[in-house]
Amino acid sequence: MKIDVEFLRSARTAMGSIISVHSFRGGTGKSNTTANLGCTLAILGYRVAIVDTDIQSPGIHVLFGLESEDTEHALNDYLWGRCDITDVARDVSHLITAHGQPAKGAIYLIPSSLKTSEITRVLREGYDVGLLNDGFQQLLQGLNLDFLLIDTHPGLNEETLLSITISDALVLILRPDRQDFQGTAVTVDVARQLDVPKMLMVVNKVPSAFHQDSLKQQVETTYGVPVAGILPVCEEMFQLGSSDIFCLRYPEHPYSLVVRRVVQHLLD
């Protein structure tokens, strides 16, 4: 499918902001970061939805305590005409109050299917990527969203390019790793060609031995993109094992404080 870049640029809407969270490689903590950004925005009073477009290897639903059998519909069902995309949206706002946080806003999750047959079908047949843009606009309007966060597939493919093209902001997640540095440079170049209005870097899984100011300067000099936050390696994250939203479980942890700073950059 050929993507009409000019048309998609014009689809950026004033109804709400679309934020793509992307990494060039897997294993950067992209889904964890997306979930924590979304919940932090909801705590601040915003209406937020997160779409898992990593259809080939979905997983963000696990962070919200959902099993595959808990979801009546998935994004796959919308893409193959089985339901409206708003039917896929799961209201997970109760997680915020369950952790004692004020439920000022709301947060919805649009998961992708974990069924082997559904993933195999995507790999075998593909789908109409253009439907994603229609679905994003329907979610913004139908759920009256302030922010739509897209958890993208790592690397660059059709759905990732579409997500970047229509985004009001792109958050790039990378580790302090040479392969991440080189791959991220490709994504930054593509995003500039697509005229993404705002780009931010988040460096994740940074060991305590690293000098954060020097790392921040290195990344900003390399890409010409501001670093919104440097997320530390923390034992609590490994212990949690993707079984919960870190910022809800540990709201005053240094990791959670950095996430709030990244959110402030997005709001600015």
3-state secondary structure 144-209: CCCEEEEECCCCCCHHHHHHHHHCCEEEEEECCCHHHHHHHHHHHHHHHHCCCCCEEEEEEEECCC
Express each pLDDT in 181-213 by its tens digit: 888 999 999 999 999 999 999 999 999 899 999
Residue 7 maps to a domain: no
**What's the confidence (pLDDT) of residue 107?**
96
**What's the confidence (pLDDT) of residue 3?**
42
CA gyration radius, the chain: 17
**What's the confidence (pLDDT) of residue 54?**
85
**What's the confidence (pLDDT) of residue 7?**
44
Residue 4 maps to a domain: no
Residue 100 maps to a domain: yes
**What's the confidence (pLDDT) of residue 39?**
96
Residue 202 maps to a domain: yes
Question: Domain tally for the chain?
Answer: 1
Residue 8 maps to a domain: no
Beta-carbon contacts of residue 94 (< 8 Å; ≥ 6 apart): none
Q: List the chain residues with pLDDT less than 70.
A: 1-15, 68-71
CATH of the domain at 191: 3.40.50.300
Residue 5 maps to a domain: no
For the sheet with 47-52, list strands across it: 90-91, 106-110, 47-52, 147-151, 17-22, 169-174, 199-206, 227-232
**What's the confidence (pLDDT) of residue 70?**
61
Q: What is the distance of C-alpha 27 from the center of its chain?
A: 14
Residue 171 maps to a domain: yes
Residue 106 maps to a domain: yes
Q: What's the domain range around 209?
A: 16-267
264 to each of 18, 71, 176, 181, 267, how far by Cα in Å? 16, 32, 23, 25, 5
**What's the confidence (pLDDT) of residue 9?**
46
| pTM recorded for the entire structure | 0.90
